[in-house]
């Protein structure tokens, strides 16, 4: 990512679909989840935000945790298929969104966030 394209993590999070301290607790939300098959999805709840830059990963994790995402731990990980220690990426582990839903429920937003840092998301395996 070039400096011109760089977006501070706080700015990248400004368009989060989850309001600070929002809690979704309604039959309408429950029905929407059931109708869309989210509850039956084979994908796990935890999403890994994979970034190549350690500082970006730490800043994004710090900002996400401040907004209520959990756990927001950052660690190095050599993804499957990688055979070079220099190809090790930085991973932000997210299990729960601020509204209490699984992080996977907001996967498309996390995908967009990862794209801003030339990263991607992955499932916890």
Map 45-72 to HEC letters.
Answer: CCEEEEECCHHHHHHHHHHHHHCCCEEE
Predicted confidence at residue 51, as pLDDT, reads 97
Residue 122 pLDDT greater than 70, yes or no: yes
* Predicted confidence (pLDDT) per residue in 33-60, tens digit: 444 444 444 458 999 999 999 999 999 9
Question: Residues 75, 91: contact at Cβ < 8 Å?
Answer: yes
Percentage of the chain modeled with pLDDT above 90: 53
Domain boundaries, the chain: 44-125
Pick among 3.30.70, 1.10.8, 2.60.120, 1.10.3470: CATH of 44-125:
3.30.70
Question: pTM score > 0.75 for this model?
Answer: no
Predicted confidence at residue 124, as pLDDT, reads 81
Predicted confidence at residue 44, as pLDDT, reads 82
* Predicted confidence (pLDDT) per residue in 92-105, tens digit: 999 999 999 999 99
């Amino acid at each position: 990512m070039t400096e011109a394209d760089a977006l501070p993590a706080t700015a990248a999070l400004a368009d989060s679909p989850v309001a600070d301290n929002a809690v979704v607790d309604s039959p309408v939300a429950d029905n929407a989840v059931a109708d869309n098959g989210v509850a039956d999805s084979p994908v796990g709840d935890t999403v890994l935000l994979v970034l190549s830059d350690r500082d970006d990963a730490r800043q994004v994790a710090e900002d996400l945790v401040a907004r209520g995402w959990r756990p927001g731990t950052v660690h190095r990980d050599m993804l499957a298929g990688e055979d070079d220690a220099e190809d090790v990426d930085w991973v932000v582990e997210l299990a729960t969104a601020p509204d209490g839903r699984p992080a996977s429920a907001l996967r498309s937003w996390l995908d967009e966030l990862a794209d801003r840092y030339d990263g991607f998301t992955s499932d916890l395996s």
